[in-house]
Amino acid sequence: MIEAEWWEYDDEAELAEAVAGDVAFIIESALDARGQALVAFPGGSTPPPVFAALAKKKLKWKNVTIIPTDERLVAVNDPLSNVAVIAKTFIPLGARVLPIGSENKDHRMAGKAADARLQDLHWPPDLVWLGVGADGHTASIFPGADLDEALNAPKARRAVGVMPEVLPAEAPVARVTLTRAAILSARAITIVVRGKDKREMLEKAIKDGPLSPTPVGRVLADAEQPIDIHWCA
């Protein structure tokens, strides 16, 4: 049974401030407990206002490592790159931002390379913050031939390569993504989504659990930690 708590906001600005406050608290707690923090942030259009609010927090950024939850297989200076957006905000603050993508056109090889990079990190992540696409993908776990590997890869595997069955119009490229096991290993999981349609889809995915046809439902079905879901229309 997925334990999900919904947090609703009047608008995007209110959501950004609240999520930034929560993420800062998680980072601060990790720094107090372990002297370092490892967090995974999503790409897409939802995070930038949250990043801007989070960047104003006084944290020991040099002890914080940030990885993307997933990456589009494009050059790091391509506007589609997830890590580029993260790096632009947090590298100037002193954070370590670790790219997991490559320009390798073979997404399976790129997945292996991403996994090797992540194996060097102090695991588990203190936070995996997930976004959700209109088609129900989360991180870059998409419907298609690579879905099973992303969902059922061995526990030790942290990233795989994925070719979405239907390429999303806003970023029609192959990806690398954290596996379900890597996502669920996090000390905390939070989801940030906007829009009524996504809310309905996510509510249904959570209700359907392991039987959900959507990747996000299949990922969350095995979560043992409570999930915070931040939403605005």
Instruction: Provide the binding-site residues for ligand LXAUTJHC, judged by CB under 6 A.
Output: 42-46, 69-70, 82, 131, 133, 139-140, 168, 171
CB of 50 to ligand LXAUTJHC, least distance (A): 10
Which of 123, 139, 126 shows the shortest CA–CA distance to 192?
Answer: 139
Nearer to ligand LXAUTJHC, 6 or 63 (CB): 6
Cβ of residue 165: shortest distance to ligand LXAUTJHC, in angstroms? Answer: 14
- Residue closer to ligand LXAUTJHC (CB basis): 64 or 141: 141
Q: How many CB atoms lie within 10 A of CB 99?
A: 17
- Helix crossing, 47-54 with 12-34: angle to 10°? 50
> 31 or 214: whose CB is closer to ligand LXAUTJHC?
214
Q: How many CA atoms lie less than 13 Å away from 138 in the CB half-sphere?
A: 30
Q: Which is nearer to ligand LXAUTJHC, 31 or 232 (CB)?
A: 232
Q: Would you say 117 or 198 has its CB closer to ligand LXAUTJHC?
A: 198
Please state the closest distance from residue 41 (CB atom) to ligand LXAUTJHC, in A: 8
- Residue 140 or 190: which CB sits closer to ligand LXAUTJHC? 140
Whether the CB-CB separation of 177 and 215 falls below 8 Å is answered with: no
Sign for the pseudo-dihedral over CA of 9, 12, 14, 18:
positive
Report residue 163 CA to chain centroid gap: 17
Q: How far is the CB of 192 from ligand LXAUTJHC (least distance, A)?
A: 8
Q: How far is the CB of 80 from ligand LXAUTJHC (least distance, A)?
A: 9
**Shortest distance (Å) from residue 70 CB to ligand LXAUTJHC:** 5
Q: How far is the CB of 68 from ligand LXAUTJHC (least distance, A)?
A: 7
Please work out, in degrees rounded to the nearest 5, the angle formed at the alpha carbon of residue 150 by the alpha carbons of 109 and 66: 75
How far apart CA 84 and CA 143 sit, in angstroms, is: 25
DSSP letters for 30-82: HHHHHS-EEEEE--SSSHHHHHHHHTTS---GGGEEEEESEEESS-TTSTT-H
The smaller minimum CB distance to ligand LXAUTJHC, of residues 33 and 52, is found at 52
Structure tokens at 210: 């392991």
